[in-house]
Amino acid sequence: MGTRSPSQIAMRRIQSELADWLLDDRRPEGCQLESFEPLMSWVVVIEGPDAAPGMPKLYNGERFRLRVNFSDRYPLDPPEVYFIPPSPVHPHIYSNGHICLDILYDGDNGGWSPALTLGKVAISLRSMLASNTELKRPPGDQEYCARTCGRSPKQTRWEFEDDTV
């Protein structure tokens, strides 16, 4: 055991996921792959989901670009995922694109699992947008963005409380 280096695992995983993203019927609904060059850094376009019946139309027709950086330790390490500003206005998304979603982070309170894929992450993000009811930034948005300027969201200590949105 231990015959393959982590980066080999990572390459194999990423290529396998890429193959899915390149097929129309295998990639998640409302998502396209804009760029996968270099292979460790992708840009995914997420279309604003249609609002559920009776819900306000918040993101209909909008398109958001998502930066995804894989590390050598992927999938043991979660990918670094954030919106390329302008990011969707949402109570769990900061204006610099950082996203407060447990499955994007590991550690004691993170929810990342190596069995997750980027496809599943994208679906989670779309449903996060779809279930939102209010165009609002998280509290302390400006301050957070000033503080984390230029840093990876993976270095933030997140607290995940709200399971509804």
Partner 1 sequence: MDASDNDDFSNDVQSDDDLGYYTESEEGKQDQGVSEAIWYVIDANEISAVQEKALQDVMGIMGCSRSIARTLLMHFRWSTETLFGVLAERDKDELYKLASVTSRSTEIPSCSGSQAEVACGCCFCDVPREETSDMGCGHVFCNDCWSQHCKVQIKDGRSRKLPCMGVKCGAACDEETVRQLISDDQEILARFDRSLLESYVEDNAMVRWCPSVPHCGRAIRVEGEVHCEPECSCGLRFCFACGEEAHSPCTCEMWKQWKEKCHDDSETKNWMTANTKPCPKCGKPVEKNGGCNLVMCTCRQAFCWLCGAATGTSHTWTEISGHSCGRYKDEADRRIDEAQRNVKRYMHYYTRWEAHMKSSKAEAETRTSTQEKIAALEDNTSLLKDYSWLSQAQEQLFHARRVLGYSYVYAFYMFGNAMFREEITPDQNAINQNLFEDQQQQLEAEVERLSGLVEMGPERIGKVEDQLRLQVINSTININKRLVNLYELIENDLLGSLQFSVGYIAPYGGKSTLRPDRATPTLTTPALPASKAQDEDLVDLTGLPSSEPALGRFQGREGLRSGDAAKRPRRSGSLD
Neighbouring-strand partners of residue 10? none
- What is the C-alpha separation between 22 and 71, in angstroms, rounded? 21
One character per residue 58-97, x = contact with partner 1 (rule: CB under 8 A) = ---------------x-xxx--------------------
The closest of 123, 138, 135, 164 to 57, measured between CA atoms, is 135
Identify which range of 49-57, 60-68, 111-119, 147-155 contacts partner 1 by CB under 8 A.
111-119
Least separation in angstroms between residue 136's CB and partner 1 is: 27
- What is the C-alpha separation between 119 and 111, in angstroms, rounded? 16
| CA–centroid distance for 152 within its chain | 13
Pick the closer one to partner 1 by CB: 33 or 116.
Answer: 116
Of the residues 30, 91, 111, 119, which one makes contact with partner 1 according to CB under 8 A: 111
**Which residues are catalytic, by number?**
100
